[in-house]
C-alpha cells in the first residue's frame, strides 16, 4: 500500500541525494540541474510535488502539472532504486492516475520516457498508457529539451542518440 502527500522539504533533500545504478542513471538528479532546482525549492513546487511512502519508508516522488494545458497533466515519477521493479511500478502508476483523477481537472495524463529505458515504456503501456511515439514527432522543438541528445562514453564519444517517447492515458 502506498500513500501520497505533499512533498516535504526533508524528503526532497533525501531524494536529491539518491544514486541510481547505470540502467537508471538518467533518473539521478544532476547537481545544479533544473529538476533539482524545482525539487529543492519549496516555493516553486506549489501543489505539484508529492512524496510516495509505504511501510514507513520514503519510496519516491511524483510531480503533476497541468498549468500549461488544463486538459493534460504532465507526470514525472521517480522511485528509489530498490523499489524499481515492474510489480511495484505498476501499482504506483495505477494509484497515481487514480489520485490525479481526484485532485486535478485534467482528462489525460502524459509521461515522457527515454528511448534508452524500454522497461519504463513497457510498464506504462501495461498500465494503459498509449505510446504516442517520439516527442520530436509531436511538433516540439527538440533543441529546447536538455534531455535529448547523445549518450556518450568516458572519452566523450557518442554512443547512441537519446529520444523521448510520449505516452498518454485518458483518465476521464
Grid cell digits, residue 138:
509531436
Q: What percent of the chain has pLDDT over 70?
A: 77
Ranges 36-40, 144-148, 154-158, most confident: 36-40
Could you give the domains of the chain?
3-170 (3.40.630.30)
**Residue 10 neighbours by CB distance under 10 Å:** 10
Burial degree of 83 (CB within 10 A; 0-12, 13-18, 19+): middle
pLDDT (0 to 100) of residue 156? 65
Residues, the chain: 172
- Closest by CA position to 165, among listed 96, 104, 111, 101: 111
Grid cell digits, residue 172:
476521464
pLDDT (0 to 100) of residue 137? 60
Element (H or E) spanning 34, and its range?
helix 34-40
The answer, yes or no, to whether residue 146 has pLDDT greater than 60, is: no
- Contacts of 75-78 with C-beta under 8 Å, sequence gap 24+, read 75/100, 75/109, 75/110, 75/111, 76/111, 77/111, 78/15, 78/18, 78/27
The answer, yes or no, to whether residue 43 has pLDDT greater than 90, is: yes
From 66-75, 130-139, 155-164, the region with the lowest mean pLDDT: 155-164
Which residues lie below 8 Å from residue 91, measured CB to CB, with a gap of 6+?
Answer: 2
pTM reported for the whole predicted model? 0.84
pLDDT digits over 91-144, tens only?
999 999 999 999 999 999 999 887 777 889 999 999 999 999 887 665 544 444
pLDDT (0 to 100) of residue 139? 52
| Four-point Cα dihedral 147, 72, 75, 112, nearest 10 | -40
pLDDT digits over 7-21, tens only?
999 999 999 888 876
Q: Is the dihedral of CA 55, 58, 60, 64 positive or negative?
A: positive
Amino acid at each position: 500500500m502506498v500513500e501520497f502527500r505533499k512533498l516535504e522539504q526533508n524528503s526532497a533533500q533525501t531524494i536529491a541525494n539518491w544514486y541510481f545504478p547505470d540502467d537508471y542513471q538518467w533518473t539521478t538528479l544532476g547537481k545544479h540541474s533544473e529538476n533539482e532546482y524545482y525539487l529543492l525549492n519549496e516555493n516553486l513546487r506549489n501543489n505539484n510535488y508529492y512524496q510516495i511512502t509505504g511501510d514507513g519508508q520514503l519510496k519516491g516522488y511524483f510531480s503533476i502539472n497541468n498549468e500549461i494545458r488544463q486538459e493534460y497533466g504532465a507526470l514525472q515519477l521517480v522511485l528509489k532504486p530498490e523499489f524499481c521493479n515492474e510489480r511495484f511500478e505498476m501499482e504506483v502508476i495505477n494509484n497515481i492516475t487514480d489520485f490525479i483523477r481526484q485532485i486535478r481537472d485534467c482528462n489525460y495524463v502524459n509521461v515522457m520516457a527515454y528511448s534508452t529505458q524500454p522497461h519504463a515504456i513497457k510498464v506504462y503501456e501495461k498500465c494503459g498508457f498509449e505510446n504516442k511515439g517520439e516527442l520530436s514527432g509531436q511538433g516540439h522543438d527538440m533543441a529546447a529539451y536538455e534531455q535529448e541528445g547523445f549518450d556518450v562514453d568516458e572519452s566523450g564519444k557518442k554512443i547512441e542518440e537519446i529520444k523521448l517517447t510520449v505516452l498518454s492515458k485518458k483518465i476521464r
